[in-house]
Amino acid sequence: MKARILVTLKNGVLDPQGKAIEGALGTLGFAGVAGVRQGKVFDLELEGEDRARAEADLKAMCEKLLANTVIENYAVEID
Amino acid sequence: MKARILVTLKNGVLDPQGKAIEGALGTLGFAGVAGVRQGKVFDLELEGEDRARAEADLKAMCEKLLANTVIENYAVEID
């Protein structure tokens, strides 16, 4: 079973890396970029076919390791 | 207009960070994780409403700055 986890910064949390990318895109001539926020994506390959169990496990993985829930949101998608 | 760009490693490219995460998840007691690959996500806020133009621009951004196309794939989604 394949799963994807998206970890993104919460609104209001400063993202200097995103700001740097926004500046670089402007320098490269891409006008009209009003904002860039960078996040992380994790593609997981899971054994077993129990989707409910997998979803619970994936959320626990985010809470314990993959996301810093003080400043980051996460979303879990199971294919 | 909001857009999301996903940049992931191509198949066959080693991902030591993903391997480290896989090991850490095992240590935390999550059995059944057969593989982890880490990638990047960029959430962009674009001015203008021309979707075709935006899609072309986003692909050019990936080619020029956001992805290393030798080792990475990218996918563009426009909301």
Closest-CA residue of B relative to A7 is B41
How far apart CA B8 and CA B74 sit, in angstroms, is 6
Interchain pair A35, B24: CB under 8 A? no
Give pLDDT, residue A74: 98
Could you tell me whether strands A2-9 and B33-46 are parallel, antiparallel, or unpaired per DSSP bridges? Answer: unpaired
Q: Count other Cβ atoms within 10 Å, centred on residue A4.
A: 19
Output phi, psi for B27, to 5 deg.
Answer: -60, -35
Find which of A42, A49, A55, A65 to mutate to test the B interface (most B CBs within 10 Å of its CB): A42
pLDDT < 50 stretches in chain A:
none
How far apart CA B55 and CA B39 sit, in angstroms, is 21
Cβ atoms of A36 and A14 within 8 Å: the answer is: no
DSSP B20: H
Mean pLDDT value across residues B46-75 = 97
| Reported confidence tier of residue B79, pLDDT bands at 50, 70, 90 | confident
Find which of B1, B45, B79 to mutate to test the A interface (most A CBs within 10 Å of its CB): B45
Please tell me which of the candidates A40, A42, A47 has its beta carbon nearest to residue B34: A47
Sign of CA dihedral A48, A61, A14, B67: negative
Cβ atoms of B60 and B52 within 8 Å: the answer is: no
DSSP A36: E
Task: Return the CATH superfamily for domain B2-78.
Answer: Phosphoribosylformylglycinamidine synthase subunit PurS (3.30.1280.10)
pLDDT tens sequence across B21-60: 999 999 999 999 999 999 999 999 999 999 999 999 999 9
Start-end of H helices in A1-79: 16-27, 51-61
Interchain pair A42, B36: CB under 8 A? yes
Give pLDDT, residue B77: 97
Question: Can you read off the two tokens belonging to residue B60?
Answer: 């050019």
